[in-house]
Chain A
Amino acid sequence: MNKFFEFEFLAGHIHYLLFIVLMMTGLFIVVDKTNLVKKIIGLNIFQVSVFMFYVSIGKVTGGTAPIFPMDSNYHVDKDALQENLYSNPLPHVLILTAIVVGIATTSLGLALIVRIRESFNTIDEEEILEIEQKMTRDDNMKYDDISKGML
């Protein structure tokens, strides 16, 4: 537990701390806001935090971009190859996929909001909930088979 409060430990893990802050911000917005568009924005922040998490775990201290060391005549520079320290590209590639998925989710969510706006005339979750509760009540009144002496 002591170790956690050491400055060096905190500074070395600053990217994880920021990831958690960003993630919690995003999740909080999704849960707290009633505006449907703001919820999507929160969801985006939440997803971006994960992208940053992935990118940061691929980083190697002192590492450069993972490019094969060749000179202008396409000869491999053997010395450079030996001492070439590069960051792990795999998490970056993985997260490209997740970014594409995130864009698809966002656009689908926004498209749904447009349709919701067309049919409910509002994009506020609480107002929609009120309309839906009224619809459910109407359904219950209309289709309540118990009070109609069916049971």
Chain B
Amino acid sequence: MANIAHVAEHTTRSLIDHLPLLQVLVPFCAAPIIVLIGSRRLAWPLAFISSVISLIISIILMLSVREGGYITYSLGGWAPPLGIEYRIDATNAFVLTLISMIGAVVLPFAYTSVKDEIRTRDHSLFYACWMLCFTGLLGMVATGDAFNVFVFLEISSLSTYVLVAQGASKDRRALTAAYDYLIMGTIGATFFVIGLGMLYMATGTLNMADLADRISDQGANRTVRSGFAFIIVGMGLKVAMFPLHLWLPKAYTFAPSAVTVFLSATATKAALYVLMRFVFSVYHPDFAFAKNTLEIIFLPLAIIAMFSASIVAAFQINFKKMLAYSSIAQVGYMLLGIAILNETGLTASLLHMFNHGFAKALLFMGAGALVLRTGSSFYLQISGVGRKMPITAGAIVIGGLSLIGVPGTAGFLSKWLLIQAALERSSDNSLYLLVALSVVLSSLLAVIYVWRLFEVLFLREPDLSIPISEAPVMMIIPMWILAGSCVWFGFSTDLLYDFANQAALNLLGGSMGMSDSVLNLGTN
């Protein structure tokens, strides 16, 4: 009887019920289609269309879970915990929206940039790889099955290595950057699998919600604890957590501009989401070892990253490299938000994920536009370019201000919340006053490296002998979309804050961090 009911339910599913899967499946199918058609002219439109479709899907998903609750989707009709489950709640819908938004906005920019930087015959394969990377990132975030996370992680990583290596036609160091990233990334992913193996040994399940239940039932033992350590180190490598960040500057500097834009805004964020999910949902900060890891390891490392990477960024002579180091510092802020361990901190962390994704994508796009027009992103080459390319430089200014966290830009809100979160904790531990102070001080360091950029772009005399024209429209439009949203989210703070707060509440809400209400997409 149950079987018949199950079949009936299965056949009455409409398209809208399949959205959690389609989110991942659309770009996944786009990749082989691009390769099979093999036409250079069709590759970009196909990639763009599938990115826009996933953006629409992720927005629908985000709107349907914004009040809490979750949507569950069992792959192939096999019920969880045995089957693979995709589980969309406010937290991952938020991250899915960030990733697909960046994906859809960056592709128009990539069109011109890729034409300039990558050999023409590789174009269709390049976009196929791009789609696979996009799929991997979306899948990592959408899935509710721990082993599935690993599979998607590797899909995105392998395609990322290929994408980074494409920078070789401009600078051969892209090859070694990709190789280093491959070695480090594989070690990270393998550590993650070891951790999952230990969890499976201890619990006998791989479904995240089921894992959470069983771990909280049986309590911690050594296997569970060492699994936690392996997962944190493995994901820490992918997030570029401070001492594990060595692959990042080189990979971001030498990758093609469009790839850097995409990766900087999405790859570390997706990994950070997985880290959050494991720390807060699968494990729980109620466990002493999880709490101690956050407070004794994450917190100091985050603060060290904020200062050291910002200082290194201030001494760079290359725009792209400066931004890469700044990314490490910004990851520090996100980790700090997690480590503060309260609702405000987590909200700040999620918001900063979003804001930093936008600001950094915008800045890297600016760098890409400068590379297109001047040939490189060294400060000497782009001296005074702000006067010749005012529209591009204007967008860069907004991105830079958001990176510092100037009031009126999106970056201000998340840093403000971060300070507030630290102050909330300072009532029982006055050391958190220092944490709040360090956020302010490291933002001042950001002022130094961003100011240096402004000085290079605007205050220096341009070299009048080289004619430089404004960036093409295909680059300016995505840049100003992001610049506009940086300002928009700076003034209209409620929308993003509500989403992030719901996402944070979800993470903090106990087992799997999800309320009991299963939402049905079809009836919404």
Chain A residues close to B by CB (< 8 Å): 23, 27, 30, 36, 39, 43, 46-47, 50, 53-54, 57, 91, 94, 97-98, 101, 104-105, 108-109, 112-113, 115-116, 119-120, 128, 132, 135, 139-140, 142-146, 148, 150-151
Contact = CB atoms under 8 A, between A and B. Distances in A.
A43 B187 CA distance: 8
Interface in B147-206: 147, 150-151, 154, 158, 161-162, 165, 168, 172-173, 175-176, 178-179, 182-183, 186-187, 189-190, 193-194, 197, 200-201, 206
A120 B178 CA distance: 14
Contact of A94 (B147, B154, B178, B378): B147
A145 B380 contact: yes
A115 B201 contact: no
Interface of B: 147, 150-151, 154, 158, 161-162, 165, 168, 172-173, 175-176, 178-179, 182-183, 186-187, 189-190, 193-194, 197, 200-201, 206, 317-318, 376, 378-381, 383, 455-456, 460
A47 B253 CA distance: 29
Contacts of B190: 46-47, 50
8 contacts: A30-B187, A57-B197, A104-B158, A143-B378, A143-B379, A143-B381, A145-B379, A150-B380
B193 A108 contact: no
B182 to A, nearest CB: 5
A105 B182 contact: yes
A109 B165 CA distance: 11
Contacts of B197: 50, 53-54, 57, 91
A150 B378 CA distance: 13
A143 B176 CA distance: 22
A65 to B, nearest CB: 20
Nearest to B456: A145
B200 A57 contact: yes
Given A105-B186, A119-B175, A150-B380, 16 more contacts: A43-B183, A43-B186, A47-B186, A47-B190, A50-B190, A57-B201, A101-B158, A104-B158, A105-B154, A112-B182, A119-B168, A120-B176, A140-B317, A142-B378, A143-B318, A145-B456
Contacts of B175: 112, 115-116, 119-120
B154 A101 contact: yes
A108 B383 contact: no
Contacts of A46: 187, 190
B380 A148 contact: yes
Nearest to A46: B190
Contact of A115 (B168, B194, B317, B381): B168
Nearest to B172: A119
Nearest to A135: B173
A139 to B, nearest CB: 7
A87 B381 CA distance: 64
Q: Most B CB atoms within 10 A — which of A46, A105, A139? A: A105
Contact of A53 (B178, B194, B378): B194
B211 to A, nearest CB: 14
B179 A139 contact: no
B186 A50 contact: no
A120 B194 contact: no
Contacts of A142: 378, 380
Contacts of B381: 143
3 A-B pairs with the lowest CB-CB distances in the bound complex, closest first: A143-B378, A119-B172, A143-B380
A151 B315 CA distance: 12
A120 B172 contact: yes
Contacts of A140: 317
Contacts of B376: 143
Contacts of B193: 50, 54, 98
A150 B383 contact: yes
Contacts of A105: 154, 158, 182, 186
Contacts of A97: 147, 151
A101 B385 CA distance: 45
B516 to A, nearest CB: 28
Nearest to A128: B176
A143 B317 contact: yes
A23 B197 CA distance: 14
A139 B380 CA distance: 11
Contacts of A116: 175-176, 179
A132 B176 contact: yes
B172 to A, nearest CB: 4
Contacts of B172: 119-120
Contacts of B187: 27, 30, 43, 46
B444 to A, nearest CB: 19
B194 A101 contact: no
B158 A112 contact: no
B173 A50 contact: no
A132 B179 CA distance: 14
Contacts of B201: 57
Nearest to A54: B197
Contacts of B151: 97, 101
A108 B161 contact: yes
Contacts of A57: 197, 200-201
